[in-house]
Chain A
């Protein structure tokens, strides 16, 4: 079946540091890939997405590139802020078959300190 593996957290960084959160997936075919962010007490918000190999999703300074050859979709940001502190989820959605069942990774908590 489909699965998503994320690096364990928490990840603690100083403000303006470079961020990488690793995500790899297992799926048949060419799924769509997503990053969602969850702030305390809130639901998940879509951060970015990519729908095919070599696509780069980007939003609010975050980027991730769909790498079919390594089945990866790592999240990066060049300079994090305290306000980026949240839990980040990688997810995939198969584009074939019935329904739109998103499979999520376990989430990576990011803490950014001054």
Chain B
């Protein structure tokens, strides 16, 4: 058990809808990351937060947004969903936001857009 909790485990929704994925980091970790895993794109980095502030941004679409709250949990909001957004979304956390810190991953949220 990595200590990173993601909810929900599965989400099925229709195109055009909006969903929110939630992540609680490992106790003591200040940095949270979001990754998207799909068969054709592999693991894609979306965004990183450190202690509530955005630290690094990757290939995150404008339809997607995220935030990290004062209690350090994070939410990833996906809107105007398209079929191609169907993927496994992972949250990870680390103690430090610095390069070289190992990440601890949750078990992911599987999003299916129909």
Please list the residues of chain A having a beta carbon within 8 angstroms of any beta carbon in chain B.
31-32, 34, 36, 41-46, 49, 51, 89, 93-107
A53 to B42, CA, bound (A): 27
Asked if B2 contacts A101 (CB within 8 A), the reply is no
**In the complex, which residue of chain A has the Cβ closest to the Cβ of B98?**
A100
Contact A32 B99 (CB under 8 A): yes
- Across-interface contacts of A97 in B (CB, < 8 A): 99
- Cβ-defined contact, B96 with A42, below 8 A: no
Report the Cα distance A35→B90, complex, angstroms.
17
Min Cβ gap A106→B in Å is 5
Instruction: Enumerate B91-105 residues with CB–CB distance to A below 8 Å.
Output: 92, 94, 96-105
What residues of A have a CB within 8 angstroms of the CB of B55 in the complex?
A: 98-100
Question: Which residue of B has the minimal Cβ distance to A94?
Answer: B99
A36 cross-chain contacts in B, Cβ below 8 A? 105
Cβ of B25 within 8 Å of any chain A Cβ, yes or no, is no
Chain A contacts for B78, CB-based, 8 A: none
Q: Are B98 and A34 in contact (CB under 8 A)?
A: no
The answer to whether A93 touches B100 (Cβ under 8 A) is yes
Q: A43-B105, A97-B99 are in contact. List 16 more A-B contacts (CB 8 A).
A: A32-B99, A36-B105, A43-B2, A43-B90, A43-B92, A43-B108, A89-B43, A93-B99, A98-B55, A98-B56, A100-B31, A100-B48, A100-B94, A101-B45, A103-B45, A104-B42
Which chain A positions have C-beta within 8 A of B42? 104-107
Considering the chains assembled together, what is the distance between the CA atoms of A99 and B55 in angstroms?
Answer: 5
Known: A43-B2, A106-B42, A107-B42. A100 touches B104 (CB 8 A): no
Residue of A nearest to B56 (CB): A99
**CB-CB nearest in chain A for B55:** A99
B42 to chain A, nearest CB (A): 5
B31, closest chain A residue (CB): A100
**Nearest A residue (CB) for B108:** A43
A99 to B56, CA, bound (A): 5
Check B97–A102 contact: CB distance below 8 A: no
